[in-house]
Structure 1
Amino acid sequence: MKLIIQIPCFNEEETLRKTLDDLPREIVGIDEIEYLVINDGSSDKTTSVARDWGVNYIVNFTQNKGLAKGFMAGIDVALENGADIIVNTDADNQYQGKDIERLVQPILEQRADIVIGERPIADTEDFSWLKKKLQRIGSWAVRQASNTDIPDAPSGFRAFSREAALRLNVVNDYTYTLETIVQAGREKIPIVSVPIDTNNALRPSRLAKTMLSYVRTSMLTILRAYLVYKPLKAFLFLSIFPTIPGLIIWIRFLYFFITIGGAGHIQSLILACTLIIIGFVCVMIGILGDTICANRKILQDVQYHTRKQYYDGVKLSEPHKREECRIYYR
């Protein structure tokens, strides 16, 4: 059983070594542990720190592409190098390396394919009162969109089985955390959470410049993911808002038409027809989206089997262990 721990990095020269030093060297049930760093276009010595420490793999981006792109690039390299379990952690040493053993346990016991580390948000001194409330609201929204019970959706401390990693798809450029939970819930991939501890922050979060920007981008990410996986349900719900007022206005027009001939109420008829047409268009968009969704599922299945065949072939063809750090350029 091979575990690869991946760490997305952007200018983490000051904190990366401390994070790496905290990672486990052995875990019960794991035969081999390797380490992977994704250098997301850093302008400092992040790559040199990783190489000097002795990580097994480095993915180098020539420019900053964002957390989501870095995460998926790391997943691809981990799969290519035979990972049975992939753990993602942050380079700012927010998460404690000792909790990785707790994180991979449900996968080793075959109880889940994705495990999310649940931070003690209420007791985290680095989070403001507003951030704690927003984290709770955001996690609630993800639970509704994904039909899961994950209490800490933005947590980046998570483990994936090889099977789950082969099925992952992230289409936004912002973050993978929310979208992968929605995908897991809607695709019926077994997902659980486990409680973890956290360290004091070594630097401010770089995911968003302001709290307002974080909330706006997160909500748009959740909405987009939900529209991708449940378009018909979403647009049927949206169609209610123009259709019901349109029908009420149309019934009102009919009443006046029957009682007084409808003179002077033509504007109401035009408004009612416009609203009903808008509602009908929403329904049609939902049906079209549902058709596209069905086609997407077929393409995802093809992608899964293609990736599985390729990565399993690479795994079988390279049984020996590399002694030197391998660097991938993207």
Structure 2
Amino acid sequence: MDDTRSDLAAVPGSMTPDEFHARAQAVLRSMESVIDGKRSALETALTVLLAEGHLLIEDVPGVGKTMLARAMARSVDCSVSRIQFTPDLLPADITGVSIYNQADRQFEFKPGPVFANIVIGDEINRASPKTQSALLESMEERQVTVDGRTYTLATPFIVVATQNPIEMEGTYPLPEAQRDRFMARISMGYPDAGAELEMVRSRDLVSPLDALRPVVTSHQLVAMIGTVRRVYASPAVEEYAVALAQATRRDPDLRLGASPRATLQLVRAAKARAALAGRDFVLPDDIDALVVPVFAHRVIGARRLSGGAANSSTAVADVLQRIAATTPVPLGSAAQS
């Protein structure tokens, strides 16, 4: 895999529905050869990739968070870099640094690992908030500013970050602004007995990642993203997404509701989900299926939730599911399809 590949085309094309489906299934099969029994998590990860978002994978150590990120990265022939977040990591270790060149007598910029199509941030919440903030500009604006100069990042650009629960030792909570940059958050969960037994038997001597090869080229990925961009979201569906976000800001069980950025990313993710389902239009069901992974890490629950655990993921998910179930879908022909 070429980690020095040049930037991809800024304006993606598109591909036929049959080719899109074939390529998407190839990526899913490739990831499933490494991560067994987690189809829903893999589909959400692929949805985020095709929607040009960033993915946060949160769970306890040892359940395959980094393995999922690496499996997705290896399934696509793009430039890939990995950052191991540690307490002593500095912002320049991520973005890059200007070094004085004695021969030319001028400063020369040395790009950091953020200059890649897919950036894997391992255990992102083990770094200090100052270091975490080094990703803010790159995740939102696809650019990096160092010493007053701005450098454009590769296209497409996606950060796949893993983190341990905040109650784990040696972790820093992600700031709200950082969490809001992630399109979706997923959890791996423990594998079932059968999948765990198969893992024990098959990985004794070799890692399945060693045999993984790209199944989608960089240009095919760009075309798939272009296909997703062209998926139609009716005004009624857009109104439904806005109504859900507005409801989170009024609900007494939430102290902080979803941001406008969350609404935008919910619709973008719904377009990717519709394309993966073989449709060129978004249904309210696509919105409902993604409201928890897109909203849950952005909102903050009231103190009374889950015995005072305001950020309990289960309690917040329950609130969001209730909001989705009780928010009426605006009338509209596409929404009723």
User: TM-score scaled to structure 1, two decimals?
Assistant: 0.28
TM-score with structure 2 setting the length: 0.28
Quick check: which has more Rg, 1 or 2? Answer: 1
